[in-house]
Structure 1
Amino acid sequence: MGPERFTLDPGIRALLHHLRISVARVLRRAQLPAGVFAHGAVTMTVEEYYRFWDAVDAEAADPDLAVRIAGALSVEVFNPPIFAALCSANLRTAAERIAAFKPLIGPVNLDVTTARDGLTIGLGWPGEPPPPPLLVAAELAFWVALARIATRHEVRPTRVTMRLAPQPSATTTAYFGTPIRQAAADTITFSAEVAALPFLTEDESMWNFFAPELRHRLSELQASATTADRVRATLHECLPAGVSSINAVAGQLMLSPRTLQRQLQAENTSYQAVLSDTREKLARRYLTDRSLTTSQVAYLLAYDDTNSFYRAFRRWTGLTPEAARLANA
């Protein structure tokens, strides 16, 4: 998924101090260098990024920490992509802008869907390992905090879902206005009325000032990504829609299928190998969600029928999907 390293928000150190969480203890627990914040911007691999957030969660030992993190967000926090979002006209525009620049500040892609019944923001993560539940919950809570800061309304989402939903908490449920439900994806949905509420922080001139620099930084990150990384990221979006062909993926990447294959060969891989690897990792993740049937998993991986998925899964693991579920349990 995109570049191999991601920038940790520089404000995280101040945030941890604000939440009375020891930065030094978090770094030790995450097995990261003690001086990691001493030299300006901090970049981490996905694994390091996840270890950091797992360590924050363990150090705080607070089931409502995601809500506390969201509550610490203020309009004075200067993070260029987030500041650009606050300059937007409304939540829908802000979500689209952050979706474009989210790779600058973390290993997650945003899928923004506008429908008649509202605005849904979905979180897409690298295949393995799964993201820390705290990181997912904090990302979802962020959208509530952003909307409240920018509109000065106590807005609430209509639905919040997580693949690994936490135990019900009165504090967290009260913050969202709805319980976090177990589902196949990490999403938050706002009504159409909330999505269209005007942002009182709107400032198009500031957006025009920041946008060119953000685009430049994003292009530098994307240039550092391998072709295989870009294919995997595209497949994460295409497979649930039933699309798995090289022609479709190449079109999304604005390449010809022949050029895409040539670039993958230069990286000692192939489209079929990346597709198979991506499907396997997603299959293992989906099968941990017992609300999904095997046929639904096959559908999410863009297989024409369940038997094709069975054969592929047995080839990858030597097990049937049901046997793998029992082993995980």
Structure 2
Amino acid sequence: MAGDRFDLEPSIRAFVRDLGISPARALRRAELPADLFTRQPIELSVPEYYRFWDALGAEGGADRDLAVDIGKAISVEFFSPPMFGALCSPNLTAAAQRLAVHKPLIGPLRIDVDAGTALTITCVWPPGPKPPILLAATELIFWVALARIATREQIRPARVTMPSPPADPSAMESYLGARVRKGSRSSITFTAADAGRPFLTENEQMWRVFAPELRRRLSDLQASATIADRVRAALLETLPAGDPSIGAVTHQLATSARTLQRQLSHEGTSFQTILTRTREDLARHYLTNGDLRTTDIAFLLGYDDTNSFYRAFKSWTGTTPDAVRAG
């Protein structure tokens, strides 16, 4: 992800009200400015974004499945430009690929798209606190709502997984038409036939109108990111590949190690500091989300062996990975 602030579309205020939730009460519960919805653009940090969704869940009440209600309430008029661009696509695979590029504009997560024998869309959340269950569920439900709106068919996913499914997933499963299984990642899979089903909303001419503005906004977001942000984003790519070196990062960022260290120094940090913090954040994320083995976590953090990971984790936290997992 390029930066740490994300846009809420102006239509969110009307959308929240249509769900029967008071926008003012939701903002107050989330400890956000009362005039937030009157600002242009409406920008939130990751913690603020999570608090907003937590507040929606609380204001929605315990007697309803708000994620399902959101899926049913989604309509063309509430789509943001990136999402409208997805609707203009020829099919769900193309829509997912387009939205994956522009998702940083509208939410604190990355979308990985695997269009092999089937279409699997995986939500990759930032390291650190887990996203609210409502938000995680809504992100998956969105894809089914999009497919149904665009094809006018009752599309059902072939598989749905979540690290922390809702305590009672029955309403979500009834809407999706599929079981919600516990898995290491939030993902949704569609058959190749459904992924390639033509969108009746396809409009290439309209997409050509939207695309330049989306590219400009994405470029502005990337330009506003600090060097530390960019290093952290690069590490999220290079660490799972087993390379924690500054060389791997400078290759990603097309710069030299000397230039990168100087730029980081101007921001009051260093490559080693960012590497350590990123590893610690990822380690905590892996230990508290899913059931990865410690050896797998060590590998994903770029360590050659488990003992090196144990020693590093103890130096960061004063405790062991096993203690954090048990807690």
Secondary structure in 2 matching 1:154: coil
The superposition leaves residues 9-46 of structure 1 with CA deviations (integer Å, 9 ceiling, x where unpaired) of: 22221111111011111111111122211234311111
CA distance in 1, matches of 2:129, 2:290: 18
User: Partner residue of 1:81?
Assistant: 82
For residue 192 of structure 1, what is the amino acid of its counterpart? A
CA distance in 2, matches of 1:162, 1:240: 21
Closer, same or farther: CA 254–88 of 1 in aligned 2, 3 Å: farther
* Post-superposition offset of 1:4: 2.6
The superposition leaves residues 31-75 of structure 1 with CA deviations (integer Å, 9 ceiling, x where unpaired) of: 112221123431111111111111101111245211111111112
CA distance in 2, matches of 1:100, 1:67: 26
User: Partner residue of 2:208?
Assistant: 208
User: Partner residue of 1:57?
Assistant: 57
Secondary structure in 2 matching 1:240: coil
User: Partner residue of 1:8?
Assistant: 8
* Post-superposition offset of 1:107: 1.3
User: Partner residue of 2:189?
Assistant: 189
User: Partner residue of 1:106?
Assistant: 107
CA distance in 2, matches of 1:250, 1:189: 34
For residue 74 of structure 1, what is the amino acid of its counterpart? S
User: Partner residue of 2:48?
Assistant: 48
* Post-superposition offset of 1:196: 1.3
Q: Is 1:23 the counterpart of 2:23 in the alignment?
A: yes
8 Å contact kept, 2:183–2:290? no
Secondary structure in 1 matching 2:275: helix
User: Partner residue of 2:34?
Assistant: 34
For residue 255 of structure 2, what is the amino acid of its counterpart? L
8 Å contact kept, 2:185–2:290? no
The superposition leaves residues 174-196 of structure 1 with CA deviations (integer Å, 9 ceiling, x where unpaired) of: 22222222222221122222221
CA distance in 2, matches of 1:256, 1:96: 31
8 Å contact kept, 2:71–2:141? yes
CA distance in 2, matches of 1:43, 1:17: 19
For residue 221 of structure 1, what is the amino acid of its counterpart? L
Secondary structure in 2 matching 1:201: coil
CA distance in 2, matches of 1:243, 1:154: 44
8 Å contact kept, 2:15–2:78? no
8 Å contact kept, 1:64–1:169? no
CA distance in 2, matches of 1:177, 1:254: 46
> Any gaps of 5 or more consecutive residues in structure 2?
none
Secondary structure in 1 matching 2:161: strand
CA distance in 1, matches of 2:278, 2:39: 35
User: Partner residue of 1:278?
Assistant: 278
Range with greater deviation from structure 2 (42-51 or 119-128): 119-128
Secondary structure in 2 matching 1:111: strand
> Any gaps of 5 or more consecutive residues in structure 1?
none
Q: Percent identity?
A: 58
8 Å contact kept, 1:88–1:204? yes
Closer, same or farther: CA 115–172 of 1 in aligned 2, 3 Å: same
Closer, same or farther: CA 85–324 of 1 in aligned 2, 3 Å: same
User: Partner residue of 2:265?
Assistant: 265
| Count of aligned pairs between the two proteins | 326
User: Partner residue of 1:252?
Assistant: 252
8 Å contact kept, 1:124–1:236? no
> Taking structure 2 as the reference length, what is the TM-score of the superposition?
0.93
CA distance in 1, matches of 2:265, 2:253: 16
8 Å contact kept, 2:184–2:290? no
Matches within 5 A, 1:75-224: 75-116=76-117, 118-224=118-224
Matches within 5 A, 1:290-305: 291-305=291-305
